[in-house]
């Protein structure tokens, strides 16, 4: 799943839920209809970060994919139904009800990463999907409930270029069907 990397130069990595294309299209359409000032996140970049690893040596990829592979986590339904700010200038969608399975998935990743010597940001996990950066402040509000049937998660490589940031999926794993 991962292309062989010759060098061991650090890679900027994160585990995330990649937003399915049809949902991403609807989210962008809704966001654009609001006419909020800011830098819109392209549809292809919409995601929900589970664990941000920062710069990691490429040789860690094997252990990281083994971690993704061995997690036994369940799929879940996520309702993105709140719209508000994260920090001063990031406009995001949030879930009023955070599914227990999402918290479990985050916790399993956090624990597995700790075993590899990777410590995550100590701040509490605050699941969000960023829609605009450098956004004009907006009041916290209801959003039309965007339903996301979460069936997989992945490991992503964040790359910056003149065209902006791009996230390359390195590996994807299925979540088991909710019982
Ligand atoms: P850019 O920083 O180039 O504007 P970006 O923030 O989308 O773009 P990255 O900084 O590589 O790209 O971050 C990748 C993902 O990880 C994003 O969802 C970002 O919000 C999240 N992230 C970045 N830094 C942290 C952090 N310290 N703690 C938690 N999540 C983070
Ligand atoms: Mg960033």
Q: What is the pLDDT of residues 12-24, one digit of tens each?
A: 999 999 999 999 9
Q: How much is the CA Rg of the chain, to the nearest whole Å? A: 16
Q: Is 22 helix (H, G, I), strand (E, B) or coil?
A: helix
Domain assignment present for residue 3? The answer is no
List the residue whose alpha carbon is closest to atom 18 of ligand 1.
Answer: 49
What is residue 33's predicted lDDT score, i.e. its pLDDT? 97
Structurally, how many domains does the chain consist of? 1
What is residue 162's predicted lDDT score, i.e. its pLDDT? 93
Domain assignment present for residue 89? The answer is no
Which of 173-176's residues contact partners 24+ apart within 8 Å by CB, and which partners?
173/68, 173/69, 173/71, 174/75, 175/73, 175/74, 175/75, 175/76, 175/101, 175/105, 175/150, 175/151, 176/72, 176/73, 176/74, 176/75
> Is residue 177 very low, low, confident or very high in pLDDT (cuts 50, 70, 90)?
confident
How deeply is 102 buried, as exposed, middle or buried, from its count of CB atoms within 10 A (0-12, 13-18, 19+)?
buried
Domain assignment present for residue 145? The answer is no
Is 60 exceeded by the pLDDT of residue 92?
yes
Domain assignment present for residue 40? The answer is yes
Q: Is 27 helix (H, G, I), strand (E, B) or coil?
A: helix
Domain of 30 in residue numbering reads as: 10-75+99-125+151-174
Residue-wise pLDDT tens digits, 108-123: 999 999 999 999 999 9
- Average pLDDT across the chain, whole number: 95
Q: What token pair was written down for 13?
A: 């990595």
Residue 134 to residue 111: CA distance in whole angstroms: 33
How deeply is 96 buried, as exposed, middle or buried, from its count of CB atoms within 10 A (0-12, 13-18, 19+)?
exposed
Q: Is 163 in the pocket of ligand 1 (CB under 6 A)?
A: no
pTM above 0.85, yes or no: yes
> Is residue 178 very low, low, confident or very high in pLDDT (cuts 50, 70, 90)?
low
Q: How many CB atoms lie within 10 A of CB 65?
A: 16
Domain assignment present for residue 2? The answer is no
CATH classification of the domain holding 17? 3.90.1140.10
Q: Is 9 in the pocket of ligand 1 (CB under 6 A)?
A: no
Domain assignment present for residue 24? The answer is yes
Residue 132 to residue 102: CA distance in whole angstroms: 23
> Is residue 4 very low, low, confident or very high in pLDDT (cuts 50, 70, 90)?
very low
Domain assignment present for residue 120? The answer is yes
For residue 161, report the phi and psi dihedrals to the nearest 5 degrees: -145, 180
| Helices 100-115, 61-70: inter-axial angle, 10-degree rounding | 140
179 CA distance to ligand 1 middle (Å): 33
Give me the active site residues, please.
47, 128
Domain assignment present for residue 22? The answer is yes
Is 80 exceeded by the pLDDT of residue 135?
yes
Q: Is 160 in the pocket of ligand 1 (CB under 6 A)?
A: yes
């Amino acid at each position: 799943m991962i292309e062989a990397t010759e060098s061991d130069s650090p890679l900027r990595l994160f585990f995330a839920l990649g937003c399915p294309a049809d949902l991403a299209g609807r989210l962008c359409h809704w966001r654009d209809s609001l006419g909020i000032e800011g830098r819109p996140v392209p549809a292809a970049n919409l995601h929900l970060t589970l664990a941000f690893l920062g710069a990691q040596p490429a040789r860690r990829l094997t252990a990281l994919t083994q971690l993704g592979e061995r997690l036994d986590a369940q799929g879940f339904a996520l309702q993105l139904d709140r719209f508000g700010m994260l920090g001063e200038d990031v406009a995001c969608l949030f879930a009023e009800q955070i599914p227990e399975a999402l918290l479990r998935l985050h916790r399993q990743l956090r624990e597995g990463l700790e075993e590899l010597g990777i410590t995550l940001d100590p701040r509490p996990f605050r699941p969000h999907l960023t829609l605009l950066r450098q956004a004009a402040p907006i009041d916290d509000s209801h959003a039309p409930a965007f339903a996301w049937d979460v069936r997989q998660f992945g490991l992503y490589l964040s790359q910056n270029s003149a065209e902006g940031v791009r996230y390359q999926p390195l590996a994807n794993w299925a979540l088991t069907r909710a019982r």
